[in-house]
Amino acid sequence: MQAFIRNKPYTGPLQAAVFDWAGTAVDHGSVGPVAVFVEVFAHQGVDVTWAEARKPMGLMKRDHIESMCADPSVLEKWRAAKGADPTQADIDVMYHETERLMVACIARHSDPIPGVLDAVAELREMGLKIGSCTGYTGPMMEVLAPVAARKGYVPDCIVTSTDVPRGRPYPWMCFRNAINLEVYPMEAMVKVGDSVSDVQEGLNAGMWTVGLSRTGNEMGLTLAELEALSEAELVARTEAIEKRFMGSGAHYVARSLADIPALVRTINERLARGETPAP
């Protein structure tokens, strides 16, 4: 059999979209995981803020805890409470507690974000497969995925941070999605997420990337809290988030996953002209 070697630009349409979970597809504001991290540190006598807990969002959960412990403001609080720096043993203890609490918590934050189910249906009508990846571990997704499915959200593929050697910003979860969905090349896929690490993951995988400005971690508000903002504050916060995403290299920023079908059409036009996600 003659080997297949691609030696010209891909000019076909997008074949798959890979979505993050919390803050992108379910759990408006990505509230569930943040609450758990705040509680885990509180059990150590360290009162972290929701903003401090959100900074590393999207990473594998152990990496998330390590990143929080390295944050200067959290480290200062830890030293004040403990009289020493956090150790790997401390991180292990917090990670195991995070696993336990997260499994109990995430099922309560499993509602699909408004517009998600319609967007997924439209993308499938356009011929796209729906992949997904997450900083959640396998046991966490064993709880979340069935509950989300009963509410109508069922991607074609689920890859967790414990299914691959390393989580975000490494590209392995996206590559695993490509393998499971049988999609090639990587520029025929778009990665959508609500954190900077989502964008970095997609870029490292050679995919088109989209950051979500209003439904997830960067905005950090439930739907009711979002709707309670004044128009001026909403615009100001959205613009700041868009700036952070674009500064991280995102190709596009959308308000929610509901905007993705329109962006897919735009990306398809660019692909047809021979454009690629590469800078």
* DSSP assignment letter at 255: S
Structure tokens at 40: 């885990």
In order of 112, 190, 222, the CA distances from 117 in angstroms are 7, 18, 18
Q: Where are the beta strands (DSSP E) in 129-188?
A: 129-134, 159-160
- β-bridge partners, 130: 17
Number of Cβ within 10 Å of residue 69's Cβ equals 19
With the C-alpha atoms ordered 240, 241, 244, 247, is the resulting torsion angle positive or negative?
negative
Catalytic residues: 20, 61
- What one-letter code names the amino acid at 233? E
